[in-house]
Structure 1
């Protein structure tokens, strides 16, 4: 007698092999409006009517970047897509295509990868409609690793770089700041068992009840605001992936100015300000605009650009961060943060 579906051993990438696994995954992926030739050949062909294209890549590794005990396949797909789509948006470009490379343990179920692929489609359709997944690669590794390369179309616009902020500009942010940092802090504080190992059941409960936890696991950045910012005349822009203080400092150094941030606009309380300054992986957008510009999309003013000063590239209410009592606002650095194996 054949085993019932409940008793059947799940197919894994190790039991099926690459060809059969890909046959299960590829139908879930979006084709994309700019795709001329998708998966199946040695390389894809994507249209570039502007004769230029924006390209970026991002890597997620189990341990320093995510915990499988806390993250579902859908979380990983959404987060991987969001981080790359937001980088394209930060250049003022419209995302057009993703290339996805996966290295997973041999015991990974094909159902896990099907969920990953289906969520990539949903993330693209939601965050950047018309974006396709046009190819990639798969391999086996004891450590799950996800690498995505994203492409974008400038549609005739100049790219919005980091070095264009000018004295007098308004500093603005799109989306909510510090949300991912708050969510991660709660996971580390509560989503662990008695021995300190990540606990999936607690994480699921937190995900359902706390929007900050849900955002950390699967962020939903305002990708469309990147094009809106470029069209509104943004003088500089970048994706807020490593924390406001660190990323604003990158704009300040590139533009040879100081970004003076408004504590009240960051939430007012010391905890809110610290979260906004130090928290990474929000994947929202930071931009500067000429004074008087009607801020587009979800952008809101959080400061102003002033002359470069001895207090550093980023100040808070006119004071150096060290003197403003916000503690460590150095931001996310995987090399400093990672100190051991993940559960």
Structure 2
């Protein structure tokens, strides 16, 4: 057996090459790992920054909400009416805090017809229904839409007056519903009208400027209502005729509903007609909508914006206490209500609801 050949030792140059290659591989590996860690860290920092910005925008929305409520409260202390001459009706310049801005727009919901007035306290309001039907006529829309809206809210399952099953007559257009039954509850937003018979996008667009969906009974403010809505108060009246009411209130705000009856256009109403319309009217507003715009001018030059719509109620303090009393509260408190030192009726102003938007809503 032949002896094994001894292994040839590695040359110094070869050893240096292997060592260099190993070092290069280690450097590449470390670079890749460091790059991945840096990228991950940047993502984490970016995510934290976005979360911080979103949290800051939410705080800005809340600040805007408080500013809107403060404006309504301040105006309520000045007078017992609401008109276009009041504080809330004036444009509000944006509030700037460094790179953040808060914009506020206020709208009087009582200048519109609240379609939730059609059915309240477990009964149909026939006077409100008549006004809504006349409003639809003013807008060249089918007055039958009013009955469809009423049936959407009332507690029974039959079509108002004409009879018949609602689920058959008013089959909803929405494909989200498992059946055609109506919800029999108050409306939350105007867009729900598209679920009703006779209402499409065109009809909704025509109605939108004149209606609202406040979640409680809301009289029409004659100091802010449009000529079209005022014309719906009377059979056969036109918006052109009601322009005189607008011109009158620009010079002198209505302090009471009786001031409306003094105008020639309403002189033909008898006492019975006035009595039926009066509960539907007011000279102040019990609901406002605030559109809050929160903006942030980020370091990258891109402005971020977030929107919220807020319903603010403004009701008489005694009415609020009576409402609490009906739910088991202390009824005796209402008897002790008095006007404040300025002889103004105390008002209870509070936020009823808030809705956040990714994009600016129709306002």
TM-score normalised to the size of structure 1?
Answer: 0.23
TM-score normalised to the size of structure 2?
Answer: 0.22
* Higher alpha-carbon Rg: 2
Larger strand proportion of the pair: 1
Larger helix proportion of the pair: 2
